[in-house]
Amino acid sequence: MEPNDAPSALTVLSEDERLFRDSVARFADARIRPLVREMDERAAIPQDLVEGLFDLGVMGIEVPEALGGAGARFFHAILAVEEISAVDPAVAVLVDIHNTLVVKALLRWGSAAQRERYLPALATHTVGAYALSEAGAGSDAFSLAARAVADGEGYVLNGRKLWISNAGEAGLFIVFANADPQAGHRGITAFLVDRGTPGFTVGRKEDKVGVRASSTCELLLEDCRLPASQVLGRPGQGYTIAIELLNEGRIGIGAQMTGLARGAYRHAIQYARERRQFGRPIAEFQLVRAQLARMAADIEAARLLVYNAARLCEAGRSFVTESAISKLFAAEAAERVTSAAINVYGGCGFVRDFPVEKYWRDAKIGQIYEGTTNIQLLTIAKQLLGERR
C-alpha cells in the first residue's frame, strides 16, 4: 500500500474531496508530467499550462461560484498542492501562493469593490503574487525598507522587494510597505498593485537550484502612485494580514513537501522493484526495504500533520502551533525522503536522466521560504510557552 492510500482517520477524505483530488492527480499526470524536465531546464512554466490550471479550476478554489470560482474550501487547496507537488513542486508553488496567500487575502480583507474587481480575474486568468520579503527583511520579515508616503488621496511607494514567487507570471501583487515608520510594524500596510502600474517593475529573475520553473524575481517600486482604494484592509493592518496569511500558507508548504516526498517515494519503490542485483530485485534486500519503510513512515506522518492543521484552520480553531509543526516536519521529511530516493537509485539517482535528483533539489526550499526551520522552531516554542506575540 502506498502512502497515498493510507487509511488513518485524519487522512480519510469525503467523497467530494476524493473526487477533487483524483481530478487534480489526473491533470498532473497528463499535462504536467510530460513537461517536467523541459520546465526545469528552461526555468519557466509554459503559458498554456498556466491556462490549463485555470481551466481545471485550481486557481480559484475558494473563490465563490458567483465570482467565477469553484466555491470550494481551504482543504481542497491543500489537496491540489499536494497532488501537483507529487509530479512537479515548481508548478505547485504557483498554485499554492495564488490560493493560500493572494486569493485568501482578498476573501478575508478585501473590500466589496476589491473582491468584485479582482476575484473573477484571479479565478479565471490572472496569477497573483505576494511581496513581503526584502534584502533586509527575510526571517525578520517586518523590518521593511519599502515606504509608502501618503500623498493627497493616495500613496507613493518606493523600495525593492526580493525573492517574490510568481512574479514572472503575476498580474496582481500584494505589496507590503511601511506607511508610518515611527509606528514600527504597526505602520505596515498592504497594497494591491497591478502589473503595469507606472513606477512598478518586475526585475531580475533568480537562477535557482530547485523549483526552477517557479519564477522568483525582484520588484522595483520607484515613485509608484496608488489611490487609497488599493489599500488592502486598513492602513497599518499589514502586519496582521501578513502574519495570518503566513500561518495558513505554511500549511500549503507542508502539503507541497508531502506531495514532493510522495513523488520521490513512488519513483524509488518502482525502481527498487525493477533494478536487479545479485540475481534479484533490490527491493528484496533487507536494507533497501528498511529505507523504503522509513520513507513511507515520514510521508504518512507529514500528511497527518498537514491535514490536521488544515482541518483545524477550516474549523476556525487555533492552528498556529500545528501549522508551524506541519511545515517544520514536512520540510525536513521531504529532504530525508528525497535523499533516500537517490540512495535507492544509486549512481542513477545522481544524474539528471532519472527523476529523483530534481525532487531532492526541490525539497531544500521547504526549510527556507514562508518561515525558515529556525523561525518555525521559535514559533512553536513561543506558543508552547504562552508567548503569543
CATH of domain 240-384: 1.20.140.10
pTM for this predicted structure: 0.95
Residue 6: band (very low, low, confident or very high) from pLDDT cuts 50, 70, 90? very low
Angstrom distance (rounded) from CA 24 to CA 30 = 10
Instruction: Tell me what pLDDT residue 1 has.
Output: 45
Segment 337-365 mean pLDDT: 97
Active site residues: 370
φ, ψ for residue 223, nearest 5 deg: 50, 50
| The pLDDT of residue 4 is above 70 | no
pLDDT at 41 over 70: yes
- Output the CATH code of domain 130-236: 2.40.110.10
pLDDT reported for residue 7: 47
How much is the average pLDDT of 156-160? 98
| Cα(376)–Cα(221) distance, integer angstroms | 30
In the predicted structure, residue 225 carries a pLDDT above the cut 60: yes
C-alpha dist (Å) from residue 120 to 66, 70, 102, 287: 9, 11, 13, 53
| Cell numbers representing residue 29 in the block | 499526470
* Spatial distance between the Cα atoms of 217 and 270, rounded to a whole number of angstroms: 37
Ranges of each domain in the chain: 3-126, 130-236, 240-384
Q: Evaluate if residue 375 carries a pLDDT over 80.
A: yes
CB 109 within 8 A of CB 232: yes
Per this entry, what is the length of the chain?
Answer: 389
Nine-digit cell at 106?
482578498
User: Per-residue confidence at 381, pLDDT binned at 50, 70, 90?
Assistant: very high
Averaged over 3-24, what is the pLDDT? 79
In single-letter form, the type of residue at position 388 comes to R
pLDDT above 70 for 389? no
Tracing cell 516536519 back to the chain, one arrives at 329
179 versus 137: the higher-pLDDT residue is 179
* Residue 320 and residue 328 in contact, taking contact as beta carbons nearer than 8 Å: no
Q: Which fold has domain 3-126?
A: Butyryl-Coa Dehydrogenase, subunit A; domain 1 (1.10.540)
